A and B are shown apart, each in its own frame.
Chain A
C-alpha cells in the first residue's frame, strides 16, 4: 500500500474529471487524476458540441488556446422522411457572447487534462481503477490491480457506465430506457468543401439535428457537426428500443448517410474513424446519490445530460459539476470533514446553479420523448404539409387552409395535435 494519501483522487480524465482536478490542484490540493486510456481522450467521444459558458468561467476565453474545431453559428433542426427533409434553419452571430464549439474529444480532452497537470495535478494514464476501497461505509481510496491508492475524497468521473459506484452498491444498474446508444463516423473532407456545403466561413460551424426516418421512427435522432476538416455524423437511439425492433444500429447509420438530404453533404468524403458511446438521457430519474461519505459523482457518471430534442448538452454540465465538486472538496479540507455532511455543498451548489435547475426545468422532456408520434408520425405530417405547400401540377390548387385541415385530420385530428403540442411546450 502506498504511504502517500492524496487530498483527492479523480477517476476519469474527461471534462468533468479534468476540471475537478484542475480546480483542486490550483487551490493547492494534492490531486491524482487517473485515466484508463493510454492518454486522456483516448476512450472518449462526443457528437459533438461543447457549450462554452461553464469552461469560460474557469478558463476565460479558453477557445483561443484550446483545440476546438468550429464556433457554431448555424443551427438546423430537420424533420426527415424517406424522400423529404423539412428544416428550421437559423444562422446568427448573436450566440457569440456565449459561443458553442464543435469538438473532437481525443485532442480536446488531452488539452484539458494538460491544464490540470500544469496546475499541479498528477496524471496517471493507462491505469484502470478496478474498484473503490471502502472502510466503515466510507470511500477511502481506489484499487488498481494490486495497487491501492488512498485519498480523503474520491471523485468518480468514470463516465456513463459508472461501474465504480455500481460495484460499491451506491447505485443500481443502468436501465435501458435511461440511456441512448450513439454511433458516429468522422468523415474527412477538404476545409473549403465543408465551408461551401454548409455555408460557412472562417472558423464558423454548423450543427444539425434530425428526427424521423433516420431512426425508422425509433426514439432518437441523427446529427451532423462540422469540424475543421471533418464532419461528425451519427445516430443516437434509446437503448430500450432495440428490444422491440429488427433494425440494427449499424445499418441505420449507413442508410442515414444515403438519404438524399445527407448524401450531397458528405459526397467524396472518407471515413477516418468509427465510434460508439452511451448517452445518459434519463435526467433526474436516473441520478445516483451525488454526495456520499468520501465520494462525489460528477459528469456522465452522475447522469448530467440534457436532451430537449433540438439541443443536446452534456459537457457544459460535466464541467460545472467538476468545478462544484472541487469547491466542495476544498471546503471539506478546511474543516477536515470528508463525510457526506462535510461534502454536502456539492449538492447545494449544483441545485443553485444551472446544472440541476436546467435538469428540473426539462424534467418532463425524457417522458415527452417517449411519445412515439414525435419520431414515427409527425415527420410525415410535416412532409405532407410542406410538400403540398410548394407543389404545383395540373390539378387545380386548393386553398391552404383547406389543404392543411385535411392533412391535420388525416394525422389524428386537431385535438391530438393540440395535446401533443401542449405536452411538448410544457415539457420543454
Chain B
C-alpha cells in the first residue's frame, strides 16, 4: 500500500460544500506576521499552506475538527461550524 496525497485522501470523504459561505475566515495580516504557523502543521486536512510569509487556505475539505481554532495563538481566524446540512458528512466515522 503506497502513501496517498492529502488530496487523494480527502477525495474519499464526502463533503457538501457551502459555496461562497466559508465557515473559517483568516485575518491575512495576522497570519502574515505569525512565525509559528502551527495551523499548517496541525490541520489534519492540510488546508493551510505557507506562501512566502502568507498563509493560503481553502475551507472546502474541512473536517470540522477545530484544531486550527485551538492552535492559532495570535487569534488570526474566525471559526464557526458550517451551516446545518453543509460540510463534511462521514459515511464511516
Contact = CB atoms under 8 A, between A and B. Distances in A.
A274 B71 contact: no
B26 interface: no
A38 B85 contact: yes
B76 interface: no
Given A36-B84, A163-B81, A248-B41, A273 B1 contact: no
Interface string A258-281: 100001001111011111111000
Nearest to B6: A250
A36 B81 contact: yes
Given A175-B70, A243-B36, A271-B12, A37 B65 contact: no
Contact of A182 (B1, B9, B44): B44
B84 A41 contact: no
Contacts of B4: 254, 271
A187 B92 CA distance: 10
B87 A160 contact: no
Contacts of A258: 3
**Dominant SS among interface residues on chain B:** loop
Interface residues of B, number: 41
A271 B64 CA distance: 20
Interface in B44-93: 44-46, 63-67, 69-71, 73, 80-85, 87-93
Contacts of B88: 42-43, 275
Interface stretch (A77-85, A102-110, A310-318): A102-110
A270 to B, nearest CB: 9
Interface of B: 1, 3-4, 6, 8-10, 12-13, 16, 36, 38, 40-46, 63-67, 69-71, 73, 80-85, 87-93
14 contacts: A42-B90, A45-B90, A104-B92, A174-B70, A175-B70, A176-B38, A182-B44, A243-B73, A245-B41, A254-B3, A266-B1, A273-B92, A276-B44, A278-B70
Interface of A: 36-38, 41-46, 104-109, 126-128, 144, 160-161, 163, 173-176, 179, 181-183, 185-187, 230, 239-240, 242-243, 245-250, 254-255, 257-258, 263, 266-269, 271-278
